[in-house]
Amino acid sequence: MKFSNFLQPFWWAHELYHVGLGLDDHYGDGKNDVNSEYGLGWWTMMTPNGGDLSAWEKWMAGFITDSQVHCLSATAANTRWITPSSVKTKEKKLIVIPLSQTKGIIIESIRPAGLYYKIPKESNGVLVYVADLEIFGHGLGLKLVLPTNRNPNLPPFFLSQATLRQGESVITNGVKISILESGNFGDVIKVEKTP
């Protein structure tokens, strides 16, 4: 059957977000290879695996309000708490670190809730990615910052191990992001400029 994907409700929602909100796919070049342009892997509803929209997409769509976003400097040290992006709450859900007028680091907390209800325990943690609005092309513009201490190609889906856990950190664009505390409440994250 042609377009048999449309037998699944996920694909209807995915395609309607293309048309209704103008969201693009975020799976990079589609090669599913960490040595190429992998985008957000298979995280979010705008990739082949499904799940929820990213917190960035929710903010752009108005599902997360400006009051739920920490906007932090890339040059000053800050520690902030964010709640899981799929949990219904009025608390902060997103950290944005502007790097320029068109580029920023995005940080969100992932737990099994909402449309991420099937996320395994191994995938709980913090997703860090860079949004670059000057990168054009289908599937491009958002890219995960991967932890270096584990194989991101482990099941259950491509880059499912990309989340940071308590005690871990990554460095991107001269900014170090460290996870100080984690739990069902979300994550406490430290952001600081690298020397």
Average pLDDT over residues 156-180: 94
pLDDT value of position 15: 65
pLDDT value of position 72: 97
Containing H/E element for 106?
strand 103-110
**What confidence tier does 52 reach under pLDDT thresholds 50, 70, 90?**
confident
Q: Of the given ranges (53-62, 148-157, 178-187), which has the lowest mean pLDDT?
A: 148-157
**β-strands 69-71, 94-98 pairing:** parallel
Rounded distance between C-alpha atoms, residue 32 and residue 30, angstroms: 6
Model's pTM, two decimal places? Answer: 0.89
User: How many CB atoms lie under 10 A from the CB of residue 117?
Assistant: 11
Q: Work out whether the CA dihedral 31, 158, 25, 59 comes out positive or negative.
A: negative
**What confidence tier does 43 reach under pLDDT thresholds 50, 70, 90?**
confident
pLDDT value of position 70: 97
pLDDT value of position 96: 98
- End-to-end, the C-alpha distance of the chain in Å comes to 57
Q: Fill in the DSSP letter of residue 84.
A: B
Question: 84, 97 in Cβ contact below 8 A?
Answer: no
pLDDT value of position 42: 81
With 0-12 / 13-18 / 19 or more C-beta atoms within 10 angstroms meaning exposed / middle / buried, residue 158 is buried
With 0-12 / 13-18 / 19 or more C-beta atoms within 10 angstroms meaning exposed / middle / buried, residue 20 is exposed
pLDDT value of position 2: 64
Average pLDDT over residues 159-163: 90
CA angle 34, 177, 140 (to 5 degrees): 40
pLDDT at 17 exceeding the cut of 70: no
Average pLDDT over residues 39-43: 84
Q: Fill in the DSSP letter of residue 76.
A: S
Per-residue pLDDT tens for 108-150? 999 998 888 888 888 999 999 999 988 877 777 889 999 988 8
